[in-house]
Every structure is written in C-alpha cells, then in structure tokens.
Amino acid sequence: MICFYQYAVDRLTPQRRSWNMSRIRGSDTGPEKSVRSLLQRMGFRFTLRRRGLPGRPDIVLPKWRTAVFVHGCFWHQHAGCRNAVMPKTRPDFWAKKLQGNVMRDEATTRALKDLGWRVITIWECELKQVDQLQRRLKRVLRGRAKR
Ligand SMILES: [Zn+2]
C-alpha cells in the first residue's frame, strides 16, 4: 500500500485544483480526447464507456479485449508523479478520499482481469510525451493476439 503521507508538500494552487476537478467530470475531458485521437491515428478501433464492464473504462478496444483508463495524476495518485502531491490542508480528508480512489482502481483492474480483459492505465502526465506513449501503446497492444 502506498503511504499517502509521503506527499507532504502541496504544490497545487487552488486554480490548478479546480482545473483538475473540472477535468474529472464527464466523459469528454481533454486527456481522454487526446488518447482517443492518438488511438485513431494509430489505426485502432475502439468504443467508449461500454456498459457492463467493471469501472466503465474510458475507452474499450473489443478486438484486443483491452480496457483503457485515462487517469488524472492527482485524483488517482499516480505513484511517484509530481502531480500527485497530497494537499496540506485537511490531510485526513484527502488521504481518505484519494486512497478510496486508488483502492477502487485496483478493484476495477482486478475485476476486469478476472473477466479476461487487459487493462491499460494512461496517466495524464504521459500525454506530454505522445511519442513515448504511442510506443508504449503499440508495444502493449501488439503483445496480444487479435480476437
Ligand atoms: Zn503523472
């Protein structure tokens, strides 16, 4: 288990945090859109938020039996990421809330894997280096036979 108190310094400004909050609502967030257009450029066919799958994955590639989540680094506590710092104010509240998100993510991943799905988590910060992300996606997706 990750110790959430290791993120002692709050480097998020209030503006930045409300920006982050606005991004986790709805399905059409900027990061998710970027990933979709990247996958499109790479020639992968996908569907969005298919019902009936645990955790309602952001993007689903049925042919590759792969579920993709696009996660904000703060809300889903990207381990070791500088965007995942714990706010200094109300530490108990945040620790509980963010830890809940992480535990939910883990449970979702397990449930999907149990159903035979592969799970790819893309972190928001990865979108700053699209070439690298593209290589990772290609490597992971090609590593599995089509159905
Ligand atoms: Zn990150």
pLDDT band at 13 (very low <50, low <70, confident <90, very high): low
Mean pLDDT of 10-26: 50
- The confidence score (pLDDT) of residue 117 equals 95
Q: Could you give the CA distance from residue 110 to residue 141 in angstroms, rounded to a whole number?
A: 19
Residue 21 pLDDT exceeds 60: no
The pLDDT value given to residue 6: 37
Predicted confidence at residue 9, as pLDDT, reads 40
CA of 30 to the centre of ligand 1 (A): 15
What residues contact 145, with CB distance under 8 A and at least 6 apart? none
User: Which residue shows structure tokens 């399905």?
Assistant: 27
* pLDDT band at residue 52 under the 50/70/90 scheme: confident
Say how many Å lie between the CA of residue 75 and the centre of ligand 1. Answer: 10
Going by pLDDT thresholds of 50, 70 and 90, the confidence category of residue 31 is very high
Percentage above 70 pLDDT, the chain: 78
Q: What is the pLDDT of residues 69-116, one digit of tens each?
A: 999 999 999 999 999 998 999 999 999 999 999 999 999 999 999 999
pLDDT over 90 at 142, yes or no: no
Q: How far is the CA of 15 from the centre of ligand 1 (A)?
A: 18
Please write the tens of the pLDDT for every residue from 1-10: 344 433 434 4
Q: 37: CA distance to ligand 1 center in Å?
A: 20
8 A C-beta contact, residue 11 and residue 73? no
CA 62 to chain centre: 18
DSSP-derived 3-state class of residue 65: coil
| Residue 78 to residues 25, 32, 122, 127, 145, Cα–Cα distance (Å) | 18, 16, 10, 14, 29
Task: Report CA dihedral (136, 141, 142, 145) to the nearest 10 degrees.
Answer: 160
